[in-house]
A and B are shown apart, each in its own frame.
Chain A
Amino acid sequence: MSQERWPLWEVFIRSKQGLDHKHAGSLHAADAKMAIENARDVYTRRMEGVSIWVVESRHIHATNPDEAASLYDPANDKVYRHPTFYDLPDELKHM
């Protein structure tokens, strides 16, 4: 018997037109077509989606949680990127 297994796929679902595809979960399938069919059966039994993306899990590259501090910290001290940083008179309207 073959020792090869069905690869793992990540499933992304658009719940309605106008919204992003969002990660729904994962599943095993032999190929992309089967992954989409299985995703329909597993993740959209109650009209949860109008569009499905699948991608083999091995193709996803991710950040390392141990590096989160150095990766995201530089954004932390740049409060001037937020509109509330600027001190303006209350009389100023429509801004």
Chain B
Amino acid sequence: MSVQELEKIFQDRIDSEIRIEPRDWMPDAYRKTLIRQISQHAHSEIVGMLPEANWITRAPSLRRKATLIAKVQDEAGHGLYLYSAAETLNISREEMIAQLHSGKAKYSSIFNYPTLTWADMGAIGWLVDGAAIMNQVPLCRASYGPYARAMVRICKEESFHQRQGFEILLTLSRGSADQRRMCQDAINRWWWPSVMMFGPNDESSPHSAQSMAWKIKRFSNDELRQRFVDICAEQVKLLGMTLPDPELSWNEEKQHYDFGAIDWDEFWNVVNGNGPCNKERLAARVQAHEDGAWVREAALAYAGKKRQEKDAA
């Protein structure tokens, strides 16, 4: 069969909502797009553990500490589900990790911002995980089977992440004047980076149309961003706090919130490696990987020895 015929069969299956599985024929560009997106997503989960791990030892109570540990452990799990999904596309785990460490593969820029106070754990749960969920729920219907299945599992678990974050902020918002200030300060710092998590505006997002046609993406960046703003603009009222955007206002005609312009210079600056924590995050990952090398080797040596003993017996 010619490539054109194969491509037609492939697109017909996608159009009729039949999932693509690892051994099915797929265009190279589809495979590459998925590898890029899934591995970037996996890296984000793994690097995303770092800003929160920063607060595990300083959580204000045992309940908060247990919750935070469980959340960080979930993120490790999410990274592993996604790495496995990407591996079905014929890229090895080592290759993906090497791409992360060399800077070739990106991860979500949000994790290049520092976590300065305990309130940041709340703001990350509410806003960062909230934005992630908004992006991830439609991915449960992505056309590539292993990716969609991994996302179903992830979405089930993310809901607790967002709720515990909001609870942290709610507690602070009902606390002392200092605690309320801390709460507002965290929202102020995390709001715009969270709004940027949806990626460039639709008109400057060149790959979006193809990803939509392949049903990897179901909604455009701006659609999802608008939905996020609409929801948060209401939720923030429950906290008695404000979002740091003077232009935020309800538009009766559109039935949506209008919001201010995004600082895309900051966005691209962080994407290109110049955010407040880019170097620190990558260095922490590389060091963890290198420090763990002897463990990986020892486990292999032990497994080999056990196998020999068994064969000899």
Residues of A within 8 A of B (CB): 1-2, 4-6, 8, 25-28, 30-31, 34, 41-43, 45-46, 62, 64-66
Contacts and interface: CB of A to CB of B under 8 A. Distances in A.
Task: Name the prevailing secondary structure of the B interface residues.
Answer: helix
Interface residues of B, number: 28
Top 3 nearest A-B pairs (CB, nearest first) are A31-B303, A30-B299, A30-B303
Interface string B296-308: 1101101100110
Contacts of B178: none
B303 A1 contact: no
B254 interface: no
B84 A26 contact: yes
Interface in B114-152: 149-150
A2 B300 contact: yes
Given A1-B293, A27-B80, A42-B77, A62 B302 contact: no
Interface of B: 21, 23-25, 70, 73-74, 77, 80-81, 84, 87, 92-94, 149-150, 153, 157, 293, 296-297, 299-300, 302-303, 306-307
Contacts, number: 53
Contact of A64 (B23, B80, B303): B23
B291 to A, nearest CB: 13
B163 to A, nearest CB: 15
A30 B81 contact: no
Contact of B297 (A2, A34, A62, A64): A2
A1 B297 contact: yes
A30 B292 CA distance: 14
B299 A34 contact: yes
Contacts of A65: 21, 23-25
A67 to B, nearest CB: 11
B215 to A, nearest CB: 19
